[in-house]
Chains A and B, each alone.
Chain A
Amino acid sequence: MHIDYWQEIKHDSFGRAGLVLISLIVVLAILAPLLTSYQPHEYTGSAFSPPSGQHLLGTNDVGQDIWTQLLFGARTSLIVGCGAAVLALLISVLVGCTAALFGGVYDRLIMRLVDAMIVIPPVIVVILVAAYLRPNMLLMILLLAAFLWPGGARVIRAQTLSLKERMHVSAARTFGAGWPHLLVHHIIPDLGPVLAATLIADARRAIFMEAGLSFLGISDPSVISWGKMMQHALRFSYLDVWKWWLLPPGFALSLLISTLAFLGFSLEKALNPRLRKGVGHAGH
Chain B
Amino acid sequence: MKKAGSAVSYLIAFVIILMINFLLPRAMPGDPLMAIYGEEALIAMTPELQAELTQRFSLDKPLGAQFVSYIKALLHGDMGYSYYYNAPVFDVIAASLPWTLLLVGLAVLISNLLGIILGIESGYRRGKTTDKVLLTGLISLSGFPDFFIGILLLLFFGVALGIVPLAGALTPYAGKTGLALIIDVLHHLALPLIALVIVRVTGAYLLTRNTMVTTLGEGFILTAKAKGCREREIRYRHAGRNSLLPVVTAAGLQLASSVTGALFIEIIFSYPGVGSLLYNSLLTRDYPLMQGILLVTTVVILVANYLLDLLYTRLDPRVAYSH
Q: Return A209 CB to nearest CB of chain B, in Å.
A: 9
| B263 partner residues in chain A, CB cutoff 8 A | 124
Q: Are B16's CB and A121's CB within 8 A?
A: no
CB-CB contacts below 8 Å: A64-119 with B: 112-113, 115-117, 119
Any chain A CB within 8 A of the CB of B153? no
Number of A-B contacts (CB under 8 A): 156
Q: Are B147's CB and A121's CB within 8 A?
A: no
| A254 partner residues in chain B, CB cutoff 8 A | 143-145, 148
In the complex the two chains form, what is the Cα distance from A129 to B213 in whole Å? 42
Query: Which one, B18-26, B168-176, B312-320, is touching chain A?
Result: B18-26
CB-CB contacts below 8 Å: B144-168 with A: 144-145, 147-148, 151-152, 154-155, 159
Query: Which one, B39-47, B79-87, B295-303, is touching chain A?
Result: B295-303
Task: Among B10, B145, B151, B213, point to the contact of A212 (Cβ < 8 A).
Answer: B145
| B147 partner residues in chain A, CB cutoff 8 A | 212, 215, 230
Q: Are A230's CB and B298's CB within 8 A?
A: no
In the complex the two chains form, what is the Cα distance from A265 to B203 in whole Å? 12
Any chain B CB within 8 A of the CB of A22? no
Q: Return B75 CB to nearest CB of chain A, in Å.
A: 21
Q: Are B9's CB and A208's CB within 8 A?
A: no
Any chain B CB within 8 A of the CB of A127? yes
Closest residue of chain A to B291 (Cβ to Cβ) is A128
Q: Return A110 CB to nearest CB of chain B, in Å.
A: 12
| A272 partner residues in chain B, CB cutoff 8 A | 210
| A28 partner residues in chain B, CB cutoff 8 A | none
In the complex the two chains form, what is the Cα distance from A66 to B258 in whole Å? 31
Q: Are B124's CB and A121's CB within 8 A?
A: no
Any chain A CB within 8 A of the CB of B231? yes
Task: Among A125, A212, A258, A262, point to the contact of B294 (Cβ < 8 A).
Answer: A125
Q: Are B142's CB and A282's CB within 8 A?
A: no
Any chain B CB within 8 A of the CB of A175? no
Task: Among A128, A217, A256, A279, point to the contact of B213 (Cβ < 8 A).
Answer: A279
Chain A interface, number of residues (Cβ within 8 angstroms)? 51
Known: A112-B12, A131-B290, A262-B139. A253 touches B155 (CB 8 A): no
Any chain B CB within 8 A of the CB of A120? yes
Closest residue of chain B to A233 (Cβ to Cβ) is B151
Q: Are B155's CB and A121's CB within 8 A?
A: no
Chain B interface, number of residues (Cβ within 8 angstroms)? 64
Closest residue of chain A to B158 (Cβ to Cβ) is A237
Any chain B CB within 8 A of the CB of A191? no
Any chain B CB within 8 A of the CB of A250? yes
Q: Are A250's CB and B152's CB within 8 A?
A: yes
Q: Return B153 CB to nearest CB of chain A, in Å.
A: 12
Any chain B CB within 8 A of the CB of A189? no
In the complex the two chains form, what is the Cα distance from A27 to B278 in whole Å? 37
In the complex the two chains form, what is the Cα distance from A215 to B9 in whole Å? 32
In the complex the two chains form, what is the Cα distance from A212 to B148 in whole Å? 10
Task: Write 16 A-B pairs (CB below 8 A) sorted by A numbering.
Answer: A14-B136, A120-B13, A121-B257, A121-B298, A122-B256, A124-B259, A131-B287, A237-B151, A246-B155, A258-B142, A259-B143, A261-B139, A275-B214, A281-B217, A282-B216, A282-B231
B-side residues, CB < 8 A to A, are: 5-6, 8-10, 12-13, 16-17, 20-21, 24-25, 28, 35, 124-127, 136, 139-140, 142-145, 147-148, 151-152, 154-155, 159, 206, 210, 213-214, 216-217, 221, 225, 231, 234, 256-257, 259-260, 263-264, 267-268, 278-279, 282-283, 287, 290-291, 294, 297-298, 301-302, 305
- Contacts A121-B256, A121-B297, A281-B217 aside, 15 further interface pairs with beta carbons under 8 A come to A112-B8, A120-B16, A120-B17, A121-B298, A125-B294, A125-B298, A215-B264, A254-B144, A260-B143, A272-B210, A275-B214, A279-B214, A281-B221, A282-B231, A284-B127
A-side residues, CB < 8 A to B, are: 14, 112-113, 115-117, 119-125, 127-129, 131-132, 208, 211-212, 215-218, 230, 234, 237, 242, 246, 250, 253-262, 265, 272, 274-275, 279-284
